[in-house]
Amino acid sequence: MTGSISRRNWLRAGLASAGGLALAACDRITNSPTGNKAISSAEGLTRRAQRLLIDRKALAREFQLSDISADFKPNGSIDPQDPDYLTLKAKGFADYRLVVDGLVERPLSLSLADLKALPSRTQITRHDCVEGWSSIAKWQGAKLAPILDQAGLKPNARYIVFHCFDTLDGPMDGAGRYYESVDLLDAHHPQTILAYAMNDRPLPVAHGAPLRLRVERQLGYKQAKYIQRIEAVADYTHLHHGGGGFWEDRGYEWYAGI
Ligand SMILES: Nc1nc2c(c(=O)[nH]1)N[C@H]1C(S)=C(S)[C@@H](COP(=O)(O)O)O[C@H]1N2
Ligand SMILES: [Mo]
């Protein structure tokens, strides 16, 4: 049909083979220097191709109700045991507050009821994990852009960081906590939402309850689950190992656009 569809297929084929080659699974901690090298060079190629070919503001494809996967695989952390998370979970997340801070004029602290009262979006999209699987689900959540507007980004804010509740690596001392970051283009993309519902039900724990990011133009590992806090920053290199995300710190590409 159109050039853009075949280009996208080509990019997807490239990503699928990069994932296959590197044998790096994002639900396992792998420490293979060769694997990481293979994945970075393949992703580097993809990134250059994308910069040339793809409009960053374009919408990700949306699907029909009949396309929803019956068996969307939960991946990575699926049942966090971090004490602060367990305390909130025990009360059905009634005491949950999303903190929005960092380089903002007006830091926010939002309950789930606050979040549900904000401008929302519902979308049926496909989640693509670098392990090579994809699943389709319907997501509903608060649009991120109006929340950032409400907080008022300071002029030097360039990235939005999502700090999560779950520890995916090592002892629960904070070092192996999951985190992610996106730039302001993805943060303001119309399909970027803080999802509290999946397939018309409250977001299940396995998929990131009570709140997870859907940033639909990015790969699976950017879709931060169990969001605790959102921080606006000028730079992310001072956080954790400096890569801008849990998997980025372990060799994955920061820009994981699809
Ligand atoms: N907080 C947190 N977010 C996360 C992960 C994780 O382990 N912890 N795994 C990532 C990866 S690699 C994928 S593929 C998706 C899995 O989302 P799902 O469990 O809804 O399938 O979440 C992403 N976000
Ligand atoms: Mo993933």
Q: What is the pLDDT of residues 32-80, one digit of tens each?
A: 444 455 556 666 666 666 665 568 889 999 999 999 999 999 999 999 9
Q: Which bound ligand lies closest to the C-alpha atom of 74?
A: 1
**In the prediction, which pLDDT does 188 show?**
97
3-state secondary structure of 91: coil
Number of other CB atoms surrounding residue 105 within 10 Å: 9
pLDDT level of residue 123 (50, 70, 90 thresholds): very high
Q: Determine the pLDDT at residue 22.
A: 41
C-alpha distances (whole Å) from 21 to each of 45, 127, 131 are 14, 20, 10
User: Rounded to the nearest whole angstrom, what is the distance from the C-alpha of residue 79 to the centroid of ligand 1?
Assistant: 11
Which amino acid is it at 215?
V
Q: Where are the beta strands (DSSP E) in the chain?
A: 98-102, 108-110, 120-128, 134-143, 159-167, 177-183, 193-198, 201-202, 212-214, 227-233
3-state secondary structure of 181: strand
Atom of ligand 1 nearest to the CA of 75: 19
Q: Which of 65, 206, 69, 192 lies closest to 141 in space, CA to CA?
A: 192
Among 39-43, 140-144, 193-197, the minimum mean pLDDT is found in: 39-43
- The model's pTM is 0.85
Amino acid at position 153, single letter = L
Q: Are 136 and 123 in contact (CB under 8 A)?
A: no
CATH 3.40.640.10 is held by the domain 62-250: no
Instruction: For ligand 1, pick from 28, 30, 39, 75 the residue to mutate: most ligand atoms within 8 Å of CB.
Output: 75
E strand or H helix at 45: helix 33-53
Residue 235 to residue 97: CA distance in whole angstroms: 25
Give dist(CA 35, CA 7) in Å, integer.
26
Residue identified by tokens 């997501």 is 139
Phi-psi region of 208 (alpha: psi -120 to 50; beta: other; left: phi over 0): left
Q: Is 228 in the pocket of ligand 1 (CB under 6 A)?
A: no
Residue with CA closest to ligand 1 atom 16: 75
What are the extents of the domains in the chain? 62-250
CA–CA separation, 233 vs 220, rounded Å?
22
Is the Cβ atom of 207 under 6 angstroms away from ligand 1?
yes
The predicted structure's pLDDT at residue 26: 76
Position 155, amino acid: P
pLDDT for 115 equals: 98
